[in-house]
């Protein structure tokens, strides 16, 4: 376990591995590589690395003052069950640019218990949060 490294250095993040995972994820199926690249370039990114191989990733969209949105969190299947998601979340939440925020959001289909450990909970007043949701945007863009 001690060989795993946690970093925010995007030069150590394997873009192909990140895109490969996200393109098959339930939340970003078919996402184009250029979209992932722009997202990484405009976000605060975190990675779990083992022997220079990317095994986990998380991305935070933030103004570094009042708001953040956690996105694209994953640990590759072969490295799950080792507590890496908990360590990655602790690493993310300890980042100096993410302290003192008024609101920190995320969306998940199946990892509620992981995020609850770190203080996330269901929206206090869901009717205040609105969205534009376009789940087919990548499919239409490639057509």
The maximal CA–CA distance of the chain, rounded, in angstroms, is 46
Q: 70 to each of 60, 75, 142, how far by Cα in Å?
A: 5, 15, 26
pLDDT at 2: 61
For 99-114, how does the pLDDT look when each residue is reduced to its tens digit (9 = 90+)?
Answer: 999 999 999 999 999 9
Report domain extents, the chain. Answer: 4-142
State pTM to two decimals.
0.92
Which CATH homologous superfamily contains domain 4-142?
A: Gcn5-related N-acetyltransferase (GNAT) (3.40.630.30)
pLDDT at 143: 65
Find the helix or strand (DSSP H, E) in which 38 lies. Answer: helix 33-41
> Number of C-alpha atoms within 13 angstroms, CB side, residue 138?
16
pLDDT at 135: 86
Q: Residue ranges of the chain with pLDDT lower than 70?
A: 1-2, 143
């Amino acid at each position: 376990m001690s060989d795993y490294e946690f970093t925010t250095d995007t030069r150590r993040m394997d873009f192909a591995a990140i895109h490969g995972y996200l393109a098959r994820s339930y939340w970003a199926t078919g996402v184009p590589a250029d979209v992932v690249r722009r997202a990484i370039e405009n976000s605060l990114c975190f990675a779990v690395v083992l022997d220079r191989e990317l095994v986990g990733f998380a991305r935070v969209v933030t103004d570094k003052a009042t708001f953040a949105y956690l996105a694209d969190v994953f640990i590759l299947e072969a490295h799950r069950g080792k507590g890496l998601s908990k360590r990655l979340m602790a690493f993310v939440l300890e980042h100096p640019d993410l302290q003192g925020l008024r609101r920190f959001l995320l969306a998940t289909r199946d990892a509620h218990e992981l995020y609850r450990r770190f203080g996330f909970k269901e929206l206090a007043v869901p009717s205040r949060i609105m969205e534009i949701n376009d789940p087919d945007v990548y499919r239409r863009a490639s057509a």
